[in-house]
Amino acid sequence: MAKTRKQKEKEVMSLAESLGKMKAAVFLDFTGLSVGKMQDLRKKLKVQGASLKVVKKRLFNLALNNDKNLKSLQGEIKVDGPLSLALGYEDEITPAKVLIGFKKEYKDLIILGGILENRLLTPEEVIALAKLPDKEEMRAQIVRTIAAPLSNFVNVLAGNLRNLIYILKNISEKGESKASV
């Protein structure tokens, strides 16, 4: 059943709103995926704070036109066949990570590119983005880097005390062995 003009306008406005809130988007071709696999992908993305939308290219270009930051990308996105968007709202890396992980299981998924900071990404750039650590991993690495010198310093200071205890223990053991002789 064909959509009415009002339905299409509503869909364009909804898509433009989603594009305005997103931090990153990944385009994919889902031609070989079954409905069950698409639902599985939607669930994985939703758990990570992202969403999956299937859109018509013409409506997608109209939605880009409604967003002043993404207006320059209108017409630059060359996609043949159906278009699906994975939109990340909480993290820039999440959609790429989830899709690359999903692609390992299902080879039919084809990554076509993406948008990050109002700039188009090639499929290779999306794959490189997926390899980056996410915010929590980066924070953990920074904390470990900052804490390493401090913990090493504490270990050095504790080493002197440990050595003193070993020496005193050896002296007391020698004293006990002389007393028993």
Helix 123-131 / helix 94-105 crossing angle, nearest 10 deg:
100
Q: Does domain 5-132 have CATH number 3.50.50.60?
A: no
- Per-residue pLDDT of 79-112, as tens digits, reads 666 788 899 988 888 899 989 988 888 887 888 8
Give the C-alpha separation, 111 to 26, whole Å.
Answer: 7
Amino acid identity of 58?
Answer: R
Domain boundaries, the chain: 5-132, 133-181
User: What is the SS3 assignment for 162?
Assistant: helix
- Per-residue pLDDT of 167-181, as tens digits, reads 888 888 887 766 665
Give the C-alpha separation, 99 to 92, whole Å.
Answer: 13
Nearest residue to 67 via CA among 136, 5, 13, 108: 13
123-132, long-range: CB < 8 A, 24+ apart: 126/26, 126/96, 126/99, 126/100, 127/96, 127/100, 129/24, 129/92, 129/93, 129/96, 130/93, 130/96, 130/97, 130/99, 130/100, 130/101, 132/93
pTM recorded for the entire structure: 0.70
User: Which residue in the block uniquely carries the two structure tokens 């005193």?
Assistant: 168
- Per-residue pLDDT of 120-130, as tens digits, reads 888 899 989 88
